[in-house]
C-alpha cells in the first residue's frame, strides 16, 4: 500500500511489491523513506519535544538512543530536560521545512542545554543562536542565556560512548565544537571519547551554521544495509566489527584540537 510519504518521495529504492525486503530506513537521509519507525513521545523523564507535530519518527534503536542519552545527562545533573526538535515524518520521504535530510529516520535535532547568566539551568526556549562567547539571546523573554557546556558535553559524551547509537555525525557550529572539546580536555576525558567526539562533531558546509542546535545522525547497521539503508559519508572505525579505538596520547589529541580549531 502506498503512503503519502512514499508518493511524495517517489524514490526508486522505496519499498514496493517488487522489492518487499526493503524496510526500515530505506535510501539516504536526503532521499529515502522510513517504514516501521518508532515515535518519540512528546515527553519523557528527561526530555520533551519542542513542537507537538508528527516529525517525531525514527529508527526504533535511534529513538531509544536519544532517550538513553537524555537519561544519562539527567542522572549526572538531576532535573535536566533535553528539548528535542524534529526527527522524521511518520514515513519519512517528505522534504520537511528547514531540513534537507531527516527523511529516513536517522536524523534528530537536539536543542542546547542552557543556563541563565548566573549559571542556573533552564529549559531551552527553542532555537537560539550561540556565539563564540557561549552566549545566546532569547528574544521571547528578552534575556541572554548561556550554553551549558557541562551538560551539553555530557550529552555528546553519552551519544558517542553508546555503541548502539552508532553516531556518525553531530553537526554543530565550530564555536560550540571548540567550547565542548576545550571542556572535555580540561575534564581529562578518556582519549577514545575525545577522539570520537572530534571525529563526529562538524560544522557542515553547506548545511546551515548549526549554532542553535546539534543535528545527530546515526549510521546504518550491516543488517539495515541489507534491507535498503544506504550508507553515506565516512565509516567510523569504532563501529566496524572487531575493531577498537587505538589509544591516543592526550598531548596528540590536544595538538589535533588546536590545529582543527585554528582560524
Ligand atoms: Zn537537522
Segment 234-257, tens digit of pLDDT: 989 988 764 444 444 444 444 444
Structural domain harbouring 224: 22-110+149-260
CA of 247 relative to ligand 1 center, distance in Å: 32
CA of 249 relative to ligand 1 center, distance in Å: 33
CA neighbor of 217 nearest in space, from 258, 145, 169: 169
What rounded mean pLDDT belongs to the chain?
Answer: 86
The answer for residues whose C-beta is within 8 angstroms of residue 12's C-beta and 6 or more apart is none
CA of 99 relative to ligand 1 center, distance in Å: 6
pLDDT of residue 116 exceeding 90, the answer is yes
Residue 162 lies in a domain: yes
Tell me how far apart the alpha carbons of residues 240 and 246 are, in angstroms, rounded to a whole number.
13
Residue 125 lies in a domain: no
CA of 108 relative to ligand 1 center, distance in Å: 6
Instruction: Please state the domain count of the chain.
Output: 1
Give me the mean pLDDT over the 149-172 stretch: 97
Q: Coil, strand, or helix at residue 89?
A: coil
> What is the pTM assigned to this prediction?
0.85
Tell me how far apart the alpha carbons of residues 22 and 35 are, in angstroms, rounded to a whole number.
9
CA of 218 relative to ligand 1 center, distance in Å: 12
Interaxial angle between packed helices 191-200 and 250-260, expressed in degrees from 0 to 180 and rounded to the nearest 10: 20
CA of 193 relative to ligand 1 center, distance in Å: 23
CATH number, domain containing residue 53: 3.30.1380.10
Q: What is the pLDDT of residue 140?
A: 93
Give me the mean pLDDT over the 44-50 stretch: 98
Q: Quote the Cα angle for 103-129-81, to 5°.
A: 70
Tell me how far apart the alpha carbons of residues 124 and 122 are, in angstroms, rounded to a whole number.
6
CA of 102 relative to ligand 1 center, distance in Å: 7
Residue 123 lies in a domain: no
Amino acid at each position: 500500500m502506498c503512503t503519502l510519504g512514499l508518493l511524495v518521495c517517489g524514490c526508486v529504492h522505496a519499498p514496493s511489491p517488487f522489492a518487499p525486503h526493503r524496510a526500515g530506513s530505506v535510501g539516504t537521509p536526503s532521499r529515502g523513506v522510513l517504514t516501521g519507525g518508532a515515535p518519540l513521545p512528546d515527553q519523557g523523564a528527561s526530555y520533551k519535544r519542542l513542537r507537538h507535530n508528527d516529525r517525531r519518527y525514527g529508527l526504533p534503536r535511534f529513538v531509544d538512543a536519544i532517550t538513553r542519552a537524555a537519561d544519562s545527562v539527567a542522572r549526572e545533573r538531576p532535573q535536566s530536560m533535553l528539548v528535542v526538535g524534529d526527527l522524521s515524518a511518520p514515513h519519512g520521504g517528505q522534504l520537511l521545512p528547514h531540513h534537507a535530510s531527516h527523511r529516513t529516520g536517522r536524523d534528530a535535532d537536539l536543542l542546547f542545554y542552557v543556563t541563565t547568566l548566573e549559571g542556573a539551568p533552564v529549559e531551552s526556549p527553542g532555537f537560539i543562536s550561540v556565539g563564540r562567547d557561549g552566549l545566546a539571546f532569547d528574544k521571547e523573554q528578552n534575556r541572554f542565556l548561556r550554553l551549558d557546556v557541562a551538560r551539553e558535553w555530557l550529552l555528546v559524551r553519552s551519544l558517542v560512548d553508546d555503541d548502539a547509537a552508532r553516531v556518525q555525525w553531530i553537526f554543530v557550529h565550530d564555536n560550540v565544537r571548540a567550547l565542548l572539546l576545550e571542556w572535555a580536555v580540561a575534564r581529562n576525558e578518556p582519549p577514545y571519547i575525545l577522539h570520537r567526539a572530534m571525529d563526529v562533531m562538524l560544522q557542515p558546509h553547506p548545511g546551515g551554521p548549526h549554532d542553535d542546535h546539534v543535528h545527530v545522525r546515526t549510521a546504518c547497521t550491516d543488517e539495515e544495509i541489507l534491507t535498503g539503508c544506504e550508507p553515506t559519508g565516512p565509516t567510523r572505525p569504532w563501529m566496524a566489527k572487531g575493531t577498537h579505538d587505538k589509544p591516543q596520547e592526550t598531548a596528540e589529541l590536544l595538538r589535533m584540537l588546536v590545529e582543527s580549531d585554528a582560524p
